Amino acid sequence: MAVPKHERNDEIQSILVIHQGALGDFILALPALRVLRKTFPKARSVIMGYPRILELVEKRFYAEEIVSVDRRGMASFFVRGGTLDAGLSGFFGTFDLIGVFGKDGEGPLIGNLRRVCEGRILHINPFPPEQDRIHLSEHLLRELRRYSLSIPGQEPKLYLTRADQEWGKNYFRRKGLTASESLETIIIHPGSGSKKKVWPVERFVDVV
Q: Please tell me the predicted confidence (pLDDT) of residue 7.
A: 52
Q: Please tell me the predicted confidence (pLDDT) of residue 16.
A: 98
CATH class entry, domain 5-145: alpha beta
Q: Phi and psi of 44, rounded to 5°?
A: -70, 130
Could you tell me the residue ranges of all domains in the chain?
Answer: 5-145, 162-207
CB 96 within 8 A of CB 118: no
* CA–CA distance, 132 with 89 (Å, rounded to integer): 37
Q: Phi and psi of 18, rounded to 5°?
A: -105, 115
Q: Return the C-alpha torsion angle 199, 205, 206, 208, nearest 10.
A: 110
In the predicted model, residues of the chain with pLDDT beneath 70 are 1-10
